[in-house]
Amino acid sequence: MKAIAWTVLVVGLVCTALFITTGLTGDDQLAWLNGWLAGPIVLLFVAPVLFSLAGKLGGGFAALTGGVPKAFLGAPIGMGTVVGVARTGLSVNDQPQLDIQLDVDTPDGRTFRGTARQIVDLTEIGSVQPGAVLPVRYLPDGRVALATDAAQHELQAALDHVQLAKGHITPQQLHIARSGVEAQAVVLAMSPTGEVRQGRSVVQLTLRVTRRDQSLFDVTQEKALPPTASRHVQPGSVVRVVYLPHDESEVAVLLPLTA
């Protein structure tokens, strides 16, 4: 954003110089009303607004384009559960800037609270409500930024390690997820067991899985689900799963990242 502001400032200075030169060398008073009048307008109104906006954004133009501030490039990825959202008062093109407070789980098993400041499209406001899980990049000092630059395989790897570190999946389930064959399954039954593990309700799922050759097999297993995920595994729902062709006794259920 600062680079854009400086570019606009230079253009404004050039146009202003041409405006003055043309006005002084013109034959009549109307010579001042020429096309270079845009120069003073840019200097007086446009450039100051751009510099002010660049200062408020702090994170740079990346905040508008979906990237992350330079300080976070290459930083490790964790999974943040939204616990609070507040507007900062700044908006860009009617899109609000939000302070998103998150409880961040890291792949090494740590949990800390951080706040990510982000310009959010109005159509995406629903994805940053309390309870939503968002991928973040984090620094050693606890600062965080939404990992909007990360590739899908990076996000999935980070999610796998966080789930494993927190005990939400077993090493065998991680092995299935990474080495198995992806397929679709229909949820035949879903019933709570009454058990709660680290704030997640444990349910018993019965799935009918379609193999690649279109044959079917059924499997029943327990899974600890976050509160917002149960809607994805209601009876009749179609879910993505991964299974090992030589061992169909257990499958890994692939729920949406922001379930």
**Is residue 160 predicted with pLDDT exceeding 70?**
yes
pLDDT score of 70: 86
Q: Which of 17-26, 119-128, 155-164, 203-212 has the lowest mean pLDDT?
A: 17-26
Residue-wise pLDDT for 117-155, tens only, equals 888 887 778 788 888 888 999 999 989 999 988 888 888
**pLDDT bracket for residue 182 (50, 70, 90):** very high
pLDDT score of 28: 47
**pLDDT bracket for residue 11 (50, 70, 90):** low
Token pair belonging to 22:
């043309």
**pLDDT bracket for residue 257 (50, 70, 90):** low
**Is residue 165 predicted with pLDDT exceeding 70?**
yes
The domain made up of 72-156 is a member of CATH 1.20.140: no
Residue-wise pLDDT for 45-59, tens only, equals 444 444 444 443 344
pTM exceeding the 0.85 threshold for the entire prediction: no
**Is residue 42 predicted with pLDDT exceeding 90?**
no
CATH of 170-254, one of 3.40.50, 2.40.30, 2.40.50, 1.10.1580: 2.40.50
Question: Is the model more confident about 229 or about 77?
Answer: 77
CATH topology match: 72-156 vs 170-254: yes
Domain edges within the chain? 2-57, 72-156, 170-254
pLDDT score of 229: 80
Q: Which of 107-111, 163-167, 183-187 has the lowest mean pLDDT?
A: 163-167
Arithmetic mean of pLDDT over the chain? 77
**Is residue 162 predicted with pLDDT exceeding 70?**
yes
**Is residue 10 predicted with pLDDT exceeding 60?**
no
